[in-house]
Amino acid sequence: MATEITMPQLGESVTEGTITKWLVAPGDQVNKYDPIAEVMTDKVNAEVPSSYTGTINELIAEEDQTIEVGEVICTMNIEGGEAVESKEETGSPAVQQAESTDSGQPESSSSDTSSKKRYSPAVLRLAQENNIDLNQVEGSGRGGRITRKDLMAIIESGDVPGQDTGSASQKAPEAVKEAKPADMPLNGREQERTDVSKPSGGTTSGRAEEVPVSGVRKAIAQNMVKSKHEAPHAWMMIEVDVTDLVRFREKVKNEFQDNEGIKLTFLPFFMKAAIDALKKYPQVNAKWDGDKIIRYKDVHLSMAVATEEELFVPVIKHADEKNIKGLARELNDISRKVRSNSLKQEDMQGGTFTLNNTGSFGSVQSQPIINTPQAAILSVESIVKRPVVLENDAIAVRHMVNLCMSLDHRVLDGLICGKFMNHIKHSLENMNEKTVSIY
């Protein structure tokens, strides 16, 4: 009988993954440890290896479908009758079913529904935090299992079973049913934009289209909502005269590209200024951790990098130990990984502060959302030429840039953040060939 392969846990806090691409098809012969699928968790693609040698029998999960850890993604015919891993090794309810079958115990119809009572840590946590009676929830997972998506749909609808809300317990299952198609999107090869030119339910008129939500887009949405719900955002902006920096970079950029083979953009200079300020004010290089604040002694700089439809935040580890050349090279490397879709899980982990280059697409002011659990994020806007009144009341055309910072008000207050921003301003306004060393 075919053995069920489940979604592995690809990180300590990972509770689900999205199948972004199947690397095998039914009938394919695979060896143990061969990659069978690409899975996205936390906006990172990782390959899932086969646990056995055998033949792919059936692909249960569809491309772009989000699956909880421990849920079945495919089945395999195992070569040579390899033993199925024990429950202690996998913790997967699917493996328990495979064990009972291999040991000669016939499966009854109750075994398909027994998983309804098996709740993942994420489901239990959501149920406890929102006072949801799981006995009144209809699950959309395999065998009726309740998934995190089911509970999120109920919470967003406001009809929480188990709370004294009148007919809420009757409405909640309907909310779950309506959310089920979003939990089980179409196969990636079948996703098409649907023309919805006719009004539906009185909510839409005129021409429109339905665009299926990709796994990456879902992960971005979840992280942004989590950040806004958990972290009380405050915001400040400062303007900086970078005229000397513009002239200095213009003078050295061609020589740098000839020597290093990469372009010298403005961003490494802004990175350097931010890193120096983080070392001066470690209160900003921190995170909220429930009943305490964690302040980091090293700077691991998260860099927001966007493609046409996706956002990634790879991390430059020990950025405080690098000069302008080193930062430029690191920036070039992570940009190449994003473009080639070769980022790994470890490339995205461990960031302590985020820098966002919104100026690359012409923005002059923004309010970035904090990359939780970090305490702050800084956006570098476009450098623009405009008339400025100088200290002697003369008017001159200068190169100006806005720096915008969002902060977690649980961790930081305006005084420290103001000092932090002024330190960056002073550094940037005094960057020239006499004060800056590229190497």
Structure tokens at 4: 């069920």
Measuring CA to CA, which residue among 267, 243, 263, 237 is closest to residue 252? 263
User: Which residues are bridge partners to 75 per DSSP?
Assistant: 4, 58
Instruction: Compute the chain's Rg from CA coordinates.
Output: 26
Q: Cis ω on the peptide bond leading into residue 373 (within 30° of 0)?
A: yes
- Residue 409 a catalytic site member: yes
Cβ-based neighbours of 104, under 8 Å, separated by 6 or more = none
Asked if 397 and 359 touch (Cβ cutoff 8 Å), the reply is: no
Q: What is the dihedral of CA 24, 30, 32, 33, to 10 degrees?
A: -40
How many angstroms separate the CA atoms of 439 and 428, rounded? 17
Measuring CA to CA, which residue among 337, 329, 403, 323 is closest to residue 364? 403
- Catalytic residue from among 34, 413, 423, 426: 413
Residue pointed to by tokens 């495919």: 74
Asked if 384 and 240 touch (Cβ cutoff 8 Å), the reply is: no
- Catalytic residue from among 28, 298, 333, 409: 409
Structure tokens at 328: 């430029």
How many angstroms separate the CA atoms of 375 and 368, rounded? 12
Cβ-based neighbours of 312, under 8 Å, separated by 6 or more = 43, 44, 304, 305, 306, 338, 343, 348
Asked if 150 and 175 touch (Cβ cutoff 8 Å), the reply is: no
Q: Which are the catalytic amino acids?
A: 409, 413
